[in-house]
């Protein structure tokens, strides 16, 4: 294993790699993973944007006007909204959360990359450790610290933007039967229940949602699986049998999974978003109305992890 400093576009970066995987992070902004390469094939799994300058946004800026690539942490919300209980009732929760636009502290210790950031409008610290648990498994372990005297309700989602290929198959646990439509370019209503993997497209035709269609389909559909997962995982099986990616996560603390398959229906990208998350519906107040709450106790901690297996 090797951890070294490098450069990504115009940003200082940190590369974490071994004989199988090369992962690259920037601490400012977002503490984000900007690249994930399987060394066996040389394939870049994460979406890259053109240009030599990283597109930044100010705090509380518009996420999609920024770089909008790679893997960002969405916390403590995805959609901009207002916190709904005291003592922060009415406080604005920024678009796609606070931490993607903020500089993170970083250090290297004991073959581990450590990253951390403190909240702006809320009293928390979000920390993550990046290390290998096996030659082909990269782990990102999270600790959320509540520095306030009040319980804090939040949403965390891993915003993975993976490159897609036509005919790629998505595998999920067997208990993923019903999906809730959240965002689409069809006339499907928000909250409509769909039966995985057979969805209807914009013309009403049934298609397999677990297999990526040609870019000419123009599909764009975000959904969450309705029930909590017993086992947290999702796999991408590429047409080239040498390429396979698994995202696994701690289902006891991250019990939901969202997927957005984008077949050039948005921003001329052909990619898939995989989003393990603590609650659904893209905002914590709306999730709570549907009986979903993730909460860190006053003065307490909340922990989870994500493993990337190539």
pTM over 0.85: yes
Task: Output the pLDDT for position 201.
Answer: 76
Residue 268: how many CB atoms within 10 A of its CB? 8
Residue 36 forms part of a structural domain:
yes
Residue 187 forms part of a structural domain:
no
Residue 188 forms part of a structural domain:
no
Query: Could you tell me which residues are beta bridge partners of residue 75?
Result: 97
Answer whether residue 204 shows pLDDT above 90: no
Domain that holds residue 148: 2-156+278-309
Task: Output the pLDDT for position 205.
Answer: 85
Task: Output the pLDDT for position 91.
Answer: 98
Higher pLDDT, 200 or 53: 53
Residue 190 forms part of a structural domain:
no
Residue 95 forms part of a structural domain:
yes
Answer whether residue 262 shows pLDDT above 80: yes
* Total number of domains constituting the chain: 1
Nearest to 146 by CA among 123, 129, 120: 123
**Residues 92-132: tens digit of each pLDDT:** 999 999 999 999 999 999 999 999 999 999 999 999 999 99
Residue 238 forms part of a structural domain:
no
Residue 115 forms part of a structural domain:
yes
* DSSP state letters, 151-177: -EEE--EEEEEEE--TT-EEE--TT--
Residue 140 forms part of a structural domain:
yes
Strand 71-74 relative to strand 81-82, pairing: unpaired
Longest dimension (CA), the chain: 55
């Amino acid at each position: 294993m090797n951890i070294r400093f490098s450069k990504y576009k115009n940003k200082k970066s940190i590369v974490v790699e071994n004989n199988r995987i090369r992962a690259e992070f920037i601490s400012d902004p977002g503490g984000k993973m900007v690249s994930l390469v399987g060394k066996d094939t040389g394939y870049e799994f994460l979406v890259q944007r053109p240009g030599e300058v990283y597109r930044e946004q100010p705090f509380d800026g518009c996420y999609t006007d920024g770089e909008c690539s790679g893997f960002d942490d969405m916390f403590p919300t995805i959609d901009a909204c207002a916190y709904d209980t005291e003592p922060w009732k009415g406080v604005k929760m920024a678009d796609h959360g606070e931490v993607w636009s903020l500089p993170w502290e970083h250090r290297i210790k004991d073959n581990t990359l450590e990253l951390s950031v403190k909240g702006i409008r809320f009293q928390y610290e979000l920390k993550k450790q990046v290390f290998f648990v096996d030659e082909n498994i990269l782990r990102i372990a999270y600790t959320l610290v509540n520095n306030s005297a009040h319980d804090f309700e939040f949403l965390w989602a891993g915003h993975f933007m993976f490159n897609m290929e036509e005919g790629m198959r998505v595998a999920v646990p067997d208990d993923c039967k019903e999906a809730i439509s959240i965002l689409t370019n069809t006339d499907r209503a928000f909250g409509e229940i769909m039966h995985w993997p057979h969805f209807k497209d914009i013309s009403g035709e049934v298609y397999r949602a677990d297999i990526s269609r040609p870019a000419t389909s123009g599909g764009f559909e975000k959904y969450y699986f309705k029930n909590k997962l017993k086992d947290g995982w999702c796999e991408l099986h590429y047409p080239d049998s040498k390429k396979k990616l698994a995202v696994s996560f701690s289902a006891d603390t991250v019990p939901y999974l969202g997927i957005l398959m984008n077949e050039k229906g948005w921003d001329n990208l052909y990619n898939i978003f995989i989003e393990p998350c603590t609650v659904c519906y893209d905002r914590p107040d709306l999730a709570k109305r549907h009986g979903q709450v993730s909460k860190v106790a006053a003065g307490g901690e909340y922990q989870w992890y994500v493993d990337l297996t190539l």
